Chains A and B, each alone.
Chain A
Amino acid sequence: MSTASSLTAKHPSTLRGARLPKWAPWAIAAGSVALGVGISAAAGLHSNIQWALIAAILHVLGTYVIAARVENRRQAKDRVVTSLVWVAFLLAVVPLASLVWSTVQRGVKVLDVYFLSHSMGVIADSEPGGGIYHAILGTLEQVGLATLIAAPVGVLTAIYLVEYGRGNLARAVTFFVDVMTGIPSIVAGLFILSLMLMFDMEPFGFAGSLALAILMMPVVVRSTEEMLKLVPNELREASLALGVPKWRTILKVVLPTSIGGITTGIMLSIARIAGETAPVLLLVFGSKFINANPFEGAQASLPLYIYQQYGSGEATAYDRAWAASLTLIAFVMILNLVARGIARWKAPKTGR
Chain B
Amino acid sequence: MAKRIDVSGLTAYYGSHKAIEDISMTVEPRSVTAFIGPSGCGKSTFLRTLNRMHEVTSGGRVEGKVLLDDEDLYGTGIDPVSVRREVGMVFQRPNPFPTMSIFDNVAAGLRLNGSYKKSELADVVERSLKGANLWNEVKDRLNKPGSGLSGGQQQRLCIARAIAVEPNVLLMDEPCSALDPISTLAIEDLIGELKERFTIVIVTHNMQQAARVSDRTAFFNLAAVGQPGKLIEIDETERIFSNPSVQATEDYISGRFG
Contact = CB atoms under 8 A, between A and B. Distances in A.
A352 B150 CA distance: 10
Contacts of A242: 84-85, 88, 108-109, 112-113, 161-162, 165
Interface string B74-92: 0000000111111011010
Nearest to A232: B95
Contacts of B161: 238, 242
Interface in B170-199: none
Interface stretch (A45-53, A132-140, A247-255): A247-255
Given A243-B82, A350-B148, A257 B158 contact: no
B39 to A, nearest CB: 19
A234 B148 contact: no
A349 B145 contact: yes
Contacts of A257: 97-99
Interface string B28-69: 000000000000000000000001010010100000000000
A253 B148 contact: no
Size band of the B side of the interface? Answer: 20 to 34
Interface string B92-127: 010101110000000011011100000000000000
Chain B CB within 10 A, most for which of A236, A242, A348? A242
Contacts, number: 91
B227 interface: no
B148 A352 contact: yes
B81 A244 contact: yes
A61 interface: no
Interface in A219-270: 232, 234-245, 248-249, 252-253, 256-257
B144 A235 contact: no
Contacts of A241: 51, 53, 84, 88-89, 91, 162
A351 interface: yes
A74 interface: no
Nearest to B81: A245
B113 A238 contact: no
Given A242-B161, A244-B113, A351-B145, A237 B93 contact: no
Nearest to A231: B98
A243 B84 contact: yes
A166 interface: yes
The binding surface of chain A is classed by DSSP as helix
A253 B108 CA distance: 10
B112 A252 contact: yes
Contacts of A166: 58
Contacts of B209: none
Contacts of A243: 81-86, 88, 109, 113, 165, 167
5 contacts: A242-B112, A243-B82, A348-B147, A349-B99, A350-B145
Interface of B: 51, 53, 56, 58, 81-86, 88-89, 91, 93, 95, 97-99, 108-109, 111-113, 144-145, 147-148, 158, 161-162, 165, 167
Given A240-B53, A240-B84, 18 more contacts: A232-B95, A234-B91, A237-B89, A239-B97, A240-B56, A241-B53, A242-B88, A243-B88, A244-B108, A244-B113, A248-B112, A249-B112, A252-B111, A252-B112, A257-B97, A257-B99, A349-B147, A352-B148
